[in-house]
Amino acid sequence: MIEVSLHKKLMSANGEMKLNTGFKLEKGEFVTLYGKSGAGKTSVLRMLAGLLLPDEGRIAMNGTLWLDTNNGINLPPQKRNIGFVFQDYALFPNMTVKENLLFALGKKDKSVVDELIELVELGNLENRKPQTLSGGQQQRVALARALVQRPQLLMLDEPLSALDTEMRISLQDYILRLHREYELTTILVSHDVSEILKMSDRMLILEEGNIVKDGKPDKILLSKDVSGKFQFSGEVIGIQKQDFIFIISILIGKDLVKVVADEDEVKKLQIGDKVLVASKAFNPIIRKLP
Amino acid sequence: MDWGPIILTLKLALITTVLLFIVSIPLAYWLAYSKWRLKPVFETLVSMPLVLPPTVLGFYLLVAFSPSNDFGRWLNEWFGLQMVFSFEGLVLASMIYSLPFMVHPIQSGLANLSPNLREASYVLGKSRITTLFKVLLPNIRPSLLTGIVLAFAHTIGEFGVVLMIGGNIPGETKVASIAIYDEVEALNYGAANSYSMILFALTFTILLVVYLVNGGYLKRFWK
């Protein structure tokens, strides 16, 4: 379990801002930090990583103090054993894919490197330099490198924002797979509603440096209307023509839903669009799952 | 023609460059990353040799190291170092004189690297020293090469500082640029021309190599 309380004056685009956050994370949780740019999301991650010192704060990881400004405790990033994936990947250009991972490993057993390379399917690229890889491939390297030291906490700072939709969906799957495989506690910074619904167990909404909402993503994001209407928001991930109609595949939460549409409706849609799927006239059937 | 001054010039440039490289890496690292308020003062000091007449630098070094002065005497008594009119003195003066040419490329190379590289290395548990040698320096190789070569070439070309603090002692402080001046004064234009041609060709070749390497023109031969 991680207990966090952080306070710092930050200079944001709109002038001075006071960051006041406090939260607890359970082991194995997948949490998304959501909020406008400048709300303090990246600062929270950097403070957790030890890259930024808060004016006042306390971080306890399973009872070990990483930070306690009242008692002058501040573990450097080197001692916190965390995985951190940067927005620009931050791969070392002078090393190959495998060397990047081996550098992270130090003197430990090398089998974890091979295992990770296999998990993110980089075997045929392991001797390439990062500059020669596509954005999605670089991100997979960054992800694998962050996990080489078997951290308990993985932090991802908008890792997928620079990728196109297909690549993003495939990387989301890699991240989820690694999250489960390595029993990680993961914090993701994301703006993307469908990504949050698909990936996270819980979300924190940050506004002007304060956590204004904390809860299950579907409850927070989908509770706009409680009039009994049946509605979900999702993302279009496929459009297929079948005879005279079209089948639109929409990712809602972690589930794929197929919806029938006619040609006029399809004209306005393309892959990656955020859509609302709603129905008024029919009554959904509810059955208890075994 | 006497090759002594040319060889002495190359020896001086080589020793100066090696020592300067060792000194400049920590200095450039500090200048690139420190947030200390007094840093601009030190940045200015490092850059001073760019604008200061070499004779000014030579004059103060001469005064400071003179054996009639407390500091000069102390150096002589404790370390047996005679800095004035000696090769050692020339090395030190050249190091100060060429300092910005080594420090500036390394400093800007480090400052232009994405800060995330450094932080990624720290998060992976690597110390500052490991990060410097395994991540930062290997990724600014062109800057390192530029610094080394500029410092070397600049030392070959120095005149004023040498004249002030080194004088004209054959085999000790009579470097090529001094020898040229000497020959011209004695109206030996032929000898002056030989030295000048050698210096011209030498510095041209050195600079050409930097541009070829940093421009990537030589890569196809290496790979």
Confidence of residue B18 (pLDDT cuts 50, 70, 90): very high
Q: How do strand A73-74 and strand A64-68 relate by DSSP bridges?
A: antiparallel
Helix or strand or coil: residue A268? coil
Q: Is the pLDDT of residue A224 over 60?
A: no
Pull the structure tokens for residue A145: 């490198």
Q: For position B61, what pLDDT does the model report? A: 85
Average pLDDT value for residue range B192-204 = 91
Asked if B85 is an interface residue toward chain A (Cβ–Cβ < 8 A), one would say no
By CA distance, what is B130's nearest residue in A?
A103
CA distance B98 to B154: 6
Q: Is the pLDDT of residue A14 over 60?
A: yes
By CA distance, what is A150's nearest residue in B?
B124
pTM of the model: 0.78
**Other beta carbons within 10 Å of A55:** 12
pLDDT tens digits for range A227-247: 556 677 788 888 888 888 888
CA distance A82 to A37: 24
Q: Which structural domains are found in chain B, ordered by start? A: 4-175 (1.10.3720.10)
Is the model more confident about A287 or about B128? Answer: B128
What are the residues whose beta carbons fall under 8 Å from the beta carbon of A27, sequence distance 6 or more? A1, A62, A152, A183, A185
Q: Which of A9-13, B49-53, B101-105 has the highest mean pLDDT?
A: B101-105
Average pLDDT value for residue range A193-221 = 86
Is the model more confident about B172 or about A23? Answer: A23
Q: Among A46, A89, A92, A158, pick the best mutation site for testing chain B contact (most B Cβ within 10 A).
A: A92
Average pLDDT value for residue range A128-143 = 90
Q: For position A226, what pLDDT does the model report? A: 43
Is the model more confident about A95 or about A283? Answer: A95
Confidence of residue A112 (pLDDT cuts 50, 70, 90): confident
Q: For position A283, what pLDDT does the model report? A: 66
Task: Select from A78, A94, A146 the Cβ nearest to the Cβ of B122.
Answer: A78
Confidence of residue B16 (pLDDT cuts 50, 70, 90): very high
Pull the structure tokens for residue A1: 């379990």
Residue B135 with chain A: CB contacts under 8 Å? 92, 94, 103
Confidence of residue A225 (pLDDT cuts 50, 70, 90): very low
Contact B122 A77 (CB under 8 A): yes
Q: How far is A125 from chain B (nearest CA, A)?
A: 19
Q: Is the pLDDT of residue B188 over 50?
A: yes
Asked if B77 is an interface residue toward chain A (Cβ–Cβ < 8 A), one would say no
Residue pair B89/B61 in contact by the 8 Å Cβ criterion? yes
Chain center to CA of B128: 26
Average pLDDT value for residue range A20-39 = 88
By CA distance, what is B141's nearest residue in A?
A94
Contact B117 A90 (CB under 8 A): yes
Q: How far is A44 from chain B (nearest CA, A)?
A: 15
Average pLDDT value for residue range B36-48 = 92
Q: Is the pLDDT of residue B42 over 90?
A: yes
Average pLDDT value for residue range A159-169 = 80
Min mean pLDDT across A194-208, B6-20, B32-46 is at A194-208
By CA distance, what is A46's nearest residue in B?
B119
Q: How far is B101 from chain A (nearest CA, A)?
A: 25
| Residues above pLDDT 70, as percent of chain A | 94
Confidence of residue A31 (pLDDT cuts 50, 70, 90): very high
Q: Looking at beta carbons, which pairs linking B77-84 to residues 24 or more positions away fall under 8 Å?
A: B83/B165, B84/B165
Q: Is the pLDDT of residue A263 over 50?
A: yes
Q: How far is A102 from chain B (nearest CA, A)?
A: 11
| Residues above pLDDT 90, as percent of chain B | 47
Asked if A94 is an interface residue toward chain B (Cβ–Cβ < 8 A), one would say yes
Contact A78 B125 (CB under 8 A): yes
Confidence of residue B185 (pLDDT cuts 50, 70, 90): confident
pLDDT tens digits for range B127-177: 999 999 999 999 999 899 999 999 999 999 888 888 888 877 777 778 888
**CA distance readout (Å), A160 to A125, A195, A220, A273:** 20, 10, 22, 16
From chain A residues 178-207, the ones with a CB under 8 A of any chain B CB are none
Q: Is the pLDDT of residue B223 over 60?
A: no
Contact A103 B126 (CB under 8 A): yes
Confidence of residue B222 (pLDDT cuts 50, 70, 90): low
Residue B122 with chain A: CB contacts under 8 Å? 50-51, 76-78
Confidence of residue B64 (pLDDT cuts 50, 70, 90): confident
From chain A residues 132-171, the ones with a CB under 8 A of any chain B CB are 145-146, 148-149
Q: For position A93, what pLDDT does the model report? A: 93
Q: For position A100, what pLDDT does the model report? A: 92
Q: How far is A90 from chain B (nearest CA, A)?
A: 5
Contact B116 A103 (CB under 8 A): no
Asked if A74 is an interface residue toward chain B (Cβ–Cβ < 8 A), one would say no
Average pLDDT value for residue range A15-19 = 86
Residue pair B54/B158 in contact by the 8 Å Cβ criterion? yes
- The mean pLDDT value of chain A amounts to 85
| Residues above pLDDT 70, as percent of chain B | 97
pLDDT tens digits for range A1-11: 888 989 998 88
Q: How far is B116 from chain A (nearest CA, A)?
A: 6
Residue B121 with chain A: CB contacts under 8 Å? 92
Q: For position A92, what pLDDT does the model report? A: 94
Min mean pLDDT across B41-50, B74-83, B98-107 is at B74-83
- The mean pLDDT value of chain B amounts to 88
pLDDT tens digits for range B115-124: 999 999 999 9
Q: Is the pLDDT of residue A129 over 90?
A: yes
- What is the Cβ-side half-sphere exposure of residue A101, based on CA atoms within 13 angstroms? 30
Q: Which structural domains are found in chain A, ordered by start? A: 2-221 (3.40.50.300), 230-279 (2.40.50.100)
